[in-house]
């Protein structure tokens, strides 16, 4: 192989690798610096009590999300159970660690209280009115 052919092969490989890296960085910039899967962190989700969670929710969350989780200043949470307990627990522990664009503040609750809120949210199912 001639020297110019070897250089051409190396440049072609670098171009392919550069294209792949560019596509990855472009996608990352569109999604923002968030954890697409908070499962990458080691978080244990304690078992919560949905009744206790409802009380914590009414005292701390209802002012933004409404007394029935229907949404007010914050979003409707009646279908949030679809995200799963793991995601909800990670998000309620530290919203900005899961999504840097989150507007919900980190709340001063114990892990047990947050697990209770997650149990309450997991018990909700949005009712569809006709």
Mapping DSSP onto H, E and C, the string for the chain reads CCHHHHHHHHHHHHHHHHHHHHHHHHHHHHHCCCCCCHHHCCCCCCCCCHHHHHHHHHHHCHHHHCCCCCCCCCCCCCCHHHHCHHHHHHHHHCHHHHCCCCCCCCCCCCHHHHHHHHHHHHHCCCCCCC
| pTM over the 0.75 mark | no
Q: For 69-128, what is each residue's pLDDT tens digit?
A: 999 889 999 999 888 888 999 999 999 998 899 999 998 999 999 999 999 999 987 543
Q: For 54-63, what is each residue's pLDDT tens digit?
A: 999 999 999 9
Please check the confidence at residue 33 and state whether its pLDDT lies above 60. no
């Amino acid at each position: 192989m001639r020297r110019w052919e070897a250089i051409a092969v190396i440049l072609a490989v670098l171009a392919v690798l550069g294209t792949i890296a560019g596509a990855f960085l472009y996608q990352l910039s569109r999604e923002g610096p968030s954890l697409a899967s908070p499962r990458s962190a080691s978080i244990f989700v304690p078992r919560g009590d949905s009744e206790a969670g409802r009380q914590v929710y009414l005292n701390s969350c209802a002012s933004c999300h409404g007394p029935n989780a229907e949404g007010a200043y914050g979003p409707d949470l009646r279908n949030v159970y679809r995200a799963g307990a793991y995601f909800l627990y990670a998000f309620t522990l530290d919203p900005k660690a899961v999504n840097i664009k989150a507007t919900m503040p980190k709340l001063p609750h114990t892990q047990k209280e947050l697990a209770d809120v997650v149990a309450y949210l997991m018990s909700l199912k949005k009712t569809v009115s006709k």
